Chains A and B, each alone.
Chain A
Amino acid sequence: MSFLSLTDRDREEMLAAIGVASVDELFREIPEGVRFQGELDLEPALSELELVAHLEQLAARNMDTGRELSFLGAGIYDHYVPAAVDAVLARGELLTAYTPYQAEMSQGVLQAIFEYQTAICELTGMDVSNASGYDGTTVAADACYVAKHVTGRARVVLAETVNPQVRQVVKTYAPGFGLEVVEVPHRDGVTDPDELGAAAGEAACVIFQQPNFFGCLEPAPDLAAAANDAGALPIAHVDPVSLGVLEAPGEYGCALAIGEGQGAGNYQSYGGPHYGFIAARSEYVRRMPGRIVGETTDIEGRRAYVLTLQTREQHIRREKATSNITTNQTLLALAGLVHLSWLGPQGLREQAETCMALAEHAKERVGLPLLFPDQTTFKEFAIRVGRPAEDAIRAARARGVHPGYALKRDYAGMEDALLVCLTEKRTPADIDRLAEALAA
């Protein structure tokens, strides 16, 4: 199969117009020594039918959450994606557009981004959002870069209760940014504000997560206050679904709010593509990374949208840009916008409450000791299974249930701990199966 339109006759006419005898001649300026000889060692071309059959075979060898009853979360969630999201994303104009450099050709996608920015600001209580970042990990690195330039400080403080993948990405970026990374350990599953404040003394920013990686509710206002007192920018990493019931970071003094958008509108997709969001108070707008859409008018005074504040960006500022980002995740952010519009404020709150109620029910029904019994949790909680976590996972999976994530992969001393996640897609009957599988 190929997607080419040129016929032999087209080729002849085109070569004649160019004034060369063959297609090979078009490559004559490539030095002989660097030309590839022979044929690429790739498997033969497939027809569309063969291709579908091949990929169906590969897909069938994955245990997706339709085949295995899953309680996996830990940053990526099996939330329901409404049919309206699929319908909008199937619109070819939106699917196959490039970045909206030419505003007159792109009013639809520009307006959608503006509406997305509004939704993110409403969720987080911030003044400005960009058009999206790659995912919930890279926006944390982006936020550190903002903080470094705003404060002139060279240290980043991470609560140990922040998603380990987020922390790993920040640590990978930090040397290039000239930043040192300090981590603050958890105390009984949450972060101690005094300890965080002490570490924040010379820091550009402090990143904490609400709800945190263990599902526990952090004393977020106290953490933000501790960072502010130390002159470090408080940055909250938040789950958009939780913001139906939990306070917006902008309301408790955060400078920036970031997060993984996947749970609002994107499928799990083995880790991507998804969208990360980054939003800030207005004073930091000129340090924001990536695309931002603003409202304006056309020459006739009609409302119009356009990429704006581009003097921050790499194609104008080059080595002085606030970020190197060009491609972002607009299509996935659009899915987020459709999803949040489908939910509305009432739907978002109901969804959050349903997850929370199911999680609370699961804690009791499973009946295993909680790792952090004194904490309020959102849709995830950690339990002790009384044996190596991988053994419990293996035994449960043999019964068609994936019971959760083994915390020992990231935390010392949690050999028998399992992080269990409940979304609105699970039912009390599913929870019964979980309890039975964990008892096996």
Chain B
Amino acid sequence: MADANNQDDTKSLREAYKTLMIGDTTNQQDYDMDNDGGNVDDISDVDSVYDYDSRDDLDFDKNIFLRLKQNDLTITSTNIVLFTDKDVRCFNSIDWKEDGDCIANNTHLKKLSIILGPYCERQQLRYFFSSVHQNRSIEELEICTDHIDKEFGVFLIEGLCGHCSLVKLIIRRCENLGSIGCIALGKVLSYPKSKLKDLRLAEYELDDDGCKILCNALVGNSTLKKLRLSSNYHITSIVGLSTVLRHPNCTLTNLSLSSNGLNDEGLNVLGSALSGSSVRVLELSYNLSISSAGWRTFLNQLSHTSVHYLDLYSNKIDDSGLSTLANISTLKSLNLADIKLCTPAGWRSFFNSLQTSEIQLKKLVLSGNNIGDSGAAALGSSLSDMHTLKILKMSNMTHSYSRSINNMTSRGWVSLFTSLHGSNLDLVKFDFDSNQIDDEGMLHLLRSVSNMSSMKYLDLGHIHGVTAIGWRQALVGYLQVANANLNLVYLTANQINDEGMELLVRTLSNMSSLKSLCLGSNRLVTTVGWQALTDYLQSPNFALEQLHLCDNEYSNDTMFAFTSALSHNKTLKLLSLGGKL
């Protein structure tokens, strides 16, 4: 019975890990912890959309084992996952004492990921960490485990203390780190020759005591640049962390404290410590124990810092707190998604104050908020002067507020898009998924983005309020000035019909830059529309690498035409067909 439970645990751990690694592409796109604190240029996340399943090499099979032994040049950033259950990829199936040289002597391996479940043999684990210690090429080690006990802690110290190449350590889902694990990690961090620059302890059961132990080890550390302590729900106090931040040797640039149990007092301590610190990237999303008053005080404190990137997703910030954000003049990237306590009046005031502030934003996320018509008008005016802005995310802006009297109307959207059309704004990425605009709104939206020659990513999926006629009219307008640099276009779950498809294809045929196109769940398209797409598949400018056509209806003849058109294609790698989205 116990074995069965253990197997279930391992299975769930593995599934969870796979979800973390490849499951949620949205999170990966928006994952900004990799930002360089001094250069908040996360336009690169446009490219990461292509790579969402590039980390699919999850299985440590015999082939990879042999290639490691042979010091295969091609294994550099492959993720190797060592399960410890009773399957063929079992950690225990390898004699790490005899064959640990596959890692110890390898000189090309850069990343190593390991999942440790309940069947892990301790002596083998020791040999494994010993081989890691001897290796001189691994830069990134990721451990996903559910338990670190005393023995494990000792092995961890033996394997990682003074490792000559390790710069990034990620430990996930450790449900029983305890003081033993913290002390072990602390020794690794405080080891004089430590080269660690990036430490991520996400989804830990780290509490205040554990945090204190780790922070004590970090005081005076001059190598660590990035520290991620997100989803540690028991952390309420960060007094220890404030000591680290205040130390003159501290070089931390990226700090993530999302989804923790921080309270007003803890946030106040953090705000004081950040003043004059080297931190540039600050993630504080989903800290629901902090009150509006706590946020107001903290955001005032931030005006004395040099924070460039600020993630405040889904917090209890009210209009008053929002207004103080305009005083943080160093901001370049601001995530304000799902700030539900703010009213349209608060948003209007904030957008107006942005116009007069010194902030030069590159990225602004407003998804999931109801900014109202008045807020939309103010945003339009503000954006007209925001020449630095490259990424604007405004998905799901009305979905949760369909019954609100302050809900954005068609007039609000038209006002916003008209302002954009007349501005010099040149966005690279525009996410407008799941909004309730009508035909007129879409017409103005496409006209406004048609001027943006730098546009690479355009998400117009799930716009249910736009009719087939609306799409046709908007696409005719869009045809006049096509965006030559578009990489990705999302038009999933819309009411585009055959005529709209023909117009769309005519536009896309001019874009040799387009790499990914999503047309899933456009059920009004019939054989006629798909024929237009077939012609596009054979056009000289066709450069698509991904074509998503899930949840549509095709006749056999359409499928035969698709396959015939693709017979000599040399670019398309992903063709998503059939099933639901």
Partners in one complex: no
| Partner-B contacts on A (CB < 8 A) | none
